[in-house]
Structure 1
């Protein structure tokens, strides 16, 4: 989420999110290595393809969290999560990532999930990201040799906020590890709240963190924070083991956008969603919860049909059932 003094007033905050699960490419595991053996310099070469840089990295026992110039990357033994914003070309890194992982670790793709919300200015994106149909075609071309096909979905309002997702139709093997991802994607945010994420009001990263009260969301996490010039803010957090959260703030009034993402395990996410929304005070937000059958939240997803978040109404609610995962989407508007 890089900012410079020359940055135009508009910046596309909405991220492209790519999650790849890997598994051994052969039954012989004697010489097998896992993703975390890949060095920072090797990841930097791959990320250069999408026009973003690694700014910093923090590590826990089971996860590395990379702060990028445009958002974040998280690496565990068998899972890679990359999200990039602006005009980055994230999908162009997919094949280089697969080649790097295969050559270094002898791992192959088990499953992938690619998702994003609709862009404010899609025409300013670079191919293949100008429309979701092009992204689907690009992904199908990569995976058609090893998988029959991918499946693609669009949810939300055609004349409003949309959310897109692509995954494989026939993964090599199911992901049995409990897995859940919550996203809260916020737009048209409170201007007074967004002022905290400008160097004019909060000159230092420490000030932005203190004034925003982000540390109160999930206390005890190991944080990596970054402020940008003249505005913008990013947080990577390792909560424990392979559990993380990340926040990215684009505060410009013309395109204000904040994303919150976590894979923390909960039976209900209502309290966490309420905290996030009250912290940033968006006019609109899209909440997605994507979880497999072994996740604590189960398959009911009653979390997105509970009592409304205080001060908001639910304008849209949708559910999708996949072979191993369910997806719930809820669009909230300020009352």
Structure 2
């Protein structure tokens, strides 16, 4: 699906220029509604209302997956995940994610704070900044914690609004959250990761935001930081363990990016040559036919993530029935064609996306439980996918929690980029599935722990450079220091001989942090390793570069 949303704060980016793959990532955790009997949930918001808010961000909803815990929205520029009291919004390109924050907080106040009856329907106030501002201030008070992060941009001059400069982004966030802290993790003159985190509650009791300098070398550096007591208390609950793994990859190998061109590059070249020969035969004077095929129009409109220019008509009605969902054998989800030409193009993107998910191995990342995958292939190139993963069954050899993963790929050589993010955690006792790994290399083995998952993802995309972040709540590990294993116990924990909950949860978190800290990848050299210790959260940041990497020239 494409949209005619106009770009904000400046003229639209040149569609023929390079595309900014690295995403902006916003995560908001809201306090539950104040009334004990309340069932208020962000999931009660319908698709049209979310689209109204996303119009300010300049992206469009393509499709939606739903589970008992989460609604996963696949967007024209990345993804959105909506839980009862949590929202994750991730957008790439020149989208203006933070311009949507005010409207999200306005909506949250209406739903979770009881400030108004705004839930669904056509409410112009969500698009009016002046009308949303007072409600947004009240909505910000409902935020238990906020995280905003992004990798350093490849093409920062192409960004719009507050995203033109990190300090502008920080200033906008500080306007809503009085106790925020901003960090730069990594080399200022190289690839780095930017993080903002805050809690609205208990800000007066939090300590200073000063932290020790970070070293940018292969040796680890530590910085201690405290979060408000409300966050630490919230994190200590058994049902609130939090872990997010991000793998941000650039300089993808051409053999890996070929899978994300539609049709494949060799077929495109052959078709172009045939078309050129046919035109020369039909029109000797060199003129070209005036008509453009519907397929070419769709390819042009969906270039670089699916956003059409303001002059192009909408190719799909937002209210149109997307078609019935059907389950593929590999767990992925597509849409049945309902006969409309526009819907046929939409279904084509989902069908190609499902085939790609299966062929490259993404559909088999978590094999211990049923899962849903919603993938879309952008013509002529590009790929996005969301997945909702159920918790593994007790009898499964590969044991993991429920959660999501999301992948986004920009394959063009001058700006190649792929991202992988998941909050699924492998559990103590998880072991390799012999049937799925026999006779295979590391990158093809069925993942059963953090290390094997990272190797599998890297094997799919073959990046020249990458940064890996593991952001996890440390409450379980600090709750009972006796439960934390030493490094000699790590092997026993992974193979099922470790302690039981709550000790097992602490052991798993500790093992994951250790695994990333000690990660070695064949054919790569580690260029950075940085550890951050917060009250309630630990962050591990590592970067790798392929040995002998030859960087493509920028056009």
1:259 to 408, 416, 419: 419
Q: Secondary structure at the match of 1:134?
A: helix
Deviation string, structure 1 residues 116-158 (Cα, Å, up to 9, x no partner): 00001111100100121111111001223xxxx2001111112
**What's 1:250 paired with?**
410
**What's 2:84 paired with?**
77
CA distance in 2: counterparts of 1:32 and 1:222, whole angstroms:
26
5 Å-filtered alignment, 1:216-255, equals 216-219=364-367, 220-240=370-390, 243-255=403-415
**What's 2:467 paired with?**
286
Q: Secondary structure at the match of 2:509?
A: coil
Task: Tell me if structure 2 keeps the 8 A contact 1:16–1:83.
Answer: yes
Q: Secondary structure at the match of 2:459?
A: helix
The farther-off stretch of 307-316 and 111-120 is 307-316
Aligned length: 328
Is 1:322 matched up with 2:472? no
5 Å-filtered alignment, 1:13-162, equals 13-24=21-32, 26=34, 28-106=35-113, 108-144=142-178, 149-162=179-192
1:194 to 257, 282, 301: 257
Q: Secondary structure at the match of 1:282?
A: coil
Q: Which has the larger radius of gyration?
A: 2
Deviation string, structure 1 residues 154-197 (Cα, Å, up to 9, x no partner): 11112211100000156452242100100000000011210110
Instruction: Tell me how far 1:105 sits from its aligned partner.
Output: 2.8
Instruction: Tell me how far 1:221 sits from its aligned partner.
Output: 2.2
CA distance in 2: counterparts of 1:283 and 1:35, whole angstroms:
39
More helix by share: 2
Change beyond 3 A, Cα 1:289–1:171: farther
Contiguous gaps of at least 5 residues in structure 1:
none
Task: Tell me if structure 1 keeps the 8 A contact 2:143–2:199.
Answer: no
**Which has the higher relative contact order, 1 or 2, with Cα contacts under 8 A spaced 6 or more apart?**
1
Q: Secondary structure at the match of 1:234?
A: strand
Is 1:333 matched up with 2:545? yes
Contiguous gaps of at least 5 residues in structure 2:
4-13, 114-138, 203-229, 266-347, 392-401, 428-448, 477-504, 548-555
More strand by share: 1
Deviation string, structure 1 residues 28-76 (Cα, Å, up to 9, x no partner): 2334501111111111111111001111001011111000010001111
Task: Tell me if structure 2 keeps the 8 A contact 1:178–1:292.
Answer: yes
CA RMSD of aligned residues (A): 2.1
CA distance in 1: counterparts of 2:467 and 2:376, whole angstroms:
25
Instruction: Tell me how far 1:77 sits from its aligned partner.
Output: 1.1
Deviation string, structure 1 residues 85-120 (Cα, Å, up to 9, x no partner): 000010111111011011123272111000000001
TM-score of the superposed pair, with normalisation by structure 2: 0.56
TM-score of the superposed pair, with normalisation by structure 1: 0.92
The farther-off stretch of 173-182 and 273-282 is 173-182
Instruction: Tell me how far 1:298 sits from its aligned partner.
Output: 2.8
5 Å-filtered alignment, 1:157-176, equals 157-168=187-198, 171-172=201-202, 173-174=230-231, 175-176=234-235
Q: Secondary structure at the match of 1:160?
A: coil
Change beyond 3 A, Cα 1:322–1:170: farther
Q: Secondary structure at the match of 2:163?
A: coil
Instruction: Tell me how far 1:303 sits from its aligned partner.
Output: 1.7
